[in-house]
Amino acid sequence: MLNFNSAYNFTRTDNKTVINPFQPLFNQGKGFNYGLTATIPIFNRFNVKRLMRQAELDINYRKLIYENQRTRINIDIVVAYKNYDLQKRSLALEEENILLARENVDIVFQSYKLGFATLVQLREAQNSLELANNRLIAARYAMKLAETELLRIKGELVR
């Protein structure tokens, strides 16, 4: 290690009486001092070794954090894709279910016209169709949410 030091000194002594005859009555000194110091550490109590070990541990810790985040992202992608696939199949089932509910209403309505079904049965078939429509809307919404989440995790959708 290399150090540079500098200083400016000013001293003034004004004696009225002197005990020692060789001592001056008036003395004034001023000057600029500077110096350069070089130090070489011979033993620093294993500080460098400790700092190196601490840096190695910090690197290992950062690697663990990186792997943890990477694993979380991979898990999130898998879960989002599975959810998307599940919602896609659920939507397909609800679309098939709506066709069956419409067909059921048509059959019950024709039976009601012919006198084989009651008004209560027709109303139940219409309620079933209404519930199927509600489930279809909910399935489409859930499908869109799952698709949006998958796109967000992939980085193709900005928040």
DSSP state of 19: S
pTM of the model: 0.63
Of 8, 19, 150, nearest to 87 (Cα)?
150
Whether the predicted pLDDT of 135 surpasses 80: yes
What Å distances lie between residue 127 and 13, 68, 123, 134, CA to CA? Answer: 113, 50, 6, 11
pLDDT tens digits, residue range 32-78?
A: 888 999 888 788 888 889 999 999 999 999 999 999 999 999 999 99
**pLDDT at position 128:** 96
At 55 the three-state DSSP class reads: helix
